[in-house]
């Protein structure tokens, strides 16, 4: 009887020790999580042009882990399917995740078999196991899009998608794509058609309104941040042209305020004719704006990867400056 009691006591004591150890480990992990993970996200870049020529010098300078290389643009324009593959002039010298841009209007039942065949032709699964799909689906096209992603998963085992802010905040309504992970596009969040929009590319005030539901969102999220700049041409209160340039002809324009100009003399600019009284809104991003975006986002997410859009725009920034943006996610407190 004494031996049995002794064994029972030892078992009880061992159970108490294991329980205490587990609780200590749990609270230690929770405490560490509140201080941040200490792991700096990897840095990658998008390449989003219709041609690609390898640039070893730039790749060496900015040292991406990989390129997200748009290889195929699929649209639905003028009642016809439009297929535009990227012209690869020299092979990439870094690892690549191919990206397909899929126009929401291309999600038509009659076109999907053709879309699927075109993806397999231009991005052969024998060569690429990874694939990212960029599509701003709607509630009306969600079921079709998600079924199409499920079909793609049989060919590309590492499938990811791009995600807009509203698709995180309102996930219960917009749905969650059936993929391995997603890249949150933290840019283009304002109304591009509104002439009063101060900066269409990166508006952190608008972004702040959408930073909800991140803890509940079931997919791991990487982060895409913008480096590019552009100019909106507004004529009589309407957006009439968009140019991938921020260089304004100072002699033929009048500066109204920061990044806001009025044309005083008609002239050709970026192969487009500007009329007197046209307004120009220059949308741009600097390191301070990226730092502010990172400060907002560290409160709700810790990405494994920060993907800058795009590599060709990185020349306006130093590699150390961009590395500091990614490092910010390992230094700040996590929820």
Q: Packing angle between helix 319-331 and helix 287-297, nearest 10 degrees?
A: 20
Q: What is the Cα–Cα distance from 318 to 19, expressed in whole angstroms?
A: 50
The helices-and-strands tally (H runs, E runs) of the chain is: 9, 18
Question: What is d(CA 135, CA 175) in angstroms, rounded to the nearest whole number?
Answer: 14
Mean pLDDT on 253-265? 95
| Residue 188 C-alpha from the chain's centroid | 10
What pairs with residue 107 in β-bridges? none
The predicted model scores a pTM of: 0.86
What pLDDT score does 12 carry?
A: 46
Strand partners, 69: 47, 98
**Tens-digit pLDDT profile for residues 121-174:** 999 999 999 999 999 999 999 999 999 999 999 999 999 999 999 999 999 999
- Per residue in 51-96, pLDDT tens? 999 999 999 999 999 999 999 999 988 778 999 999 999 999 999 9
Q: Which CATH class is domain 39-227+287-331?
A: alpha beta
Please check the confidence at residue 273 and state whether its pLDDT lies above 80. Answer: yes
Pair of tokens at residue 236: 């009589």
Distance CA 302, CA 111 (A): 38
Domain ranges of the chain: 1-34, 39-227+287-331, 234-274
The pLDDT, as a whole number, for residue 332 is 53
Distance CA 177, CA 111 (A): 20
Using pLDDT thresholds of 50, 70 and 90, give the confidence band for residue 37: low
Q: If we measure between CA atoms, which residue out of 132, 83, 79 comes closest to residue 108?
A: 79
Q: What is the pLDDT of residue 230?
A: 95
- Dihedral, CA of residue 110, residue 118, residue 65 and residue 137, to nearest 10: -10
């Amino acid at each position: 009887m004494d031996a049995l009691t002794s064994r029972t006591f030892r078992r009880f004591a061992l159970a108490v020790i294991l329980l205490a150890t587990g609780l200590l480990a749990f609270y230690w992990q929770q405490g560490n999580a509140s201080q941040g993970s200490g792991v700096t996200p990897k840095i990658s870049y998008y390449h989003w042009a219709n041609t690609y020529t390898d640039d070893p010098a730039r790749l060496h300078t900015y040292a991406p882990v990989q390129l997200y290389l748009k290889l195929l643009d699929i649209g639905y324009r003028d009642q016809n399917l439009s297929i535009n593959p990227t012209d690869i002039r020299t092979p990439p010298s870094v690892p690549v995740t191919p990206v397909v841009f899929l126009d929401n209007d291309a999600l038509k039942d009659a076109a999907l078999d053709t879309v699927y065949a075109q993806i397999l032709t231009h991005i052969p699964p024998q060569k690429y196991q990874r694939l990212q799909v960029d599509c701003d689906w709607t509630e009306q096209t969600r079921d079709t899009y998600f079924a199409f992603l499920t079909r793609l998963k049989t060919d590309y085992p590492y499938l990811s998608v791009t995600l807009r802010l509203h698709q995180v905040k309102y996930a219960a309504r917009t749905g969650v794509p059936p993929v391995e992970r997603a890249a949150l596009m933290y840019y283009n969040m304002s109304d591009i058609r509104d002439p009063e929009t101060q900066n269409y590319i990166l508006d952190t005030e608008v972004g702040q309104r959408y930073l909800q539901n991140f803890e509940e969102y079931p997919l791991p999220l990487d982060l895409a941040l913008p480096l590019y700049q552009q100019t909106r041409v507004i004529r009589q209160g309407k957006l009439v042209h968009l140019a991938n340039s921020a260089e304004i002809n100072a002699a033929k324009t009048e500066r109204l305020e920061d990044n806001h100009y009025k044309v005083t003399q008609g002239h050709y600019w970026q192969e487009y004719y500007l009329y007197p009284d046209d307004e120009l809104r220059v949308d741009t991003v600097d390191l301070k704006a990226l730092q502010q975006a990172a400060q907002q986002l560290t409160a709700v997410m810790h990405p494994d990867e920060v993907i800058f859009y795009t590599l060709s725009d990185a020349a306006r920034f130093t590699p150390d400056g961009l590395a500091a943006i990614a490092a910010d996610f390992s230094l700040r407190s996590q929820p």
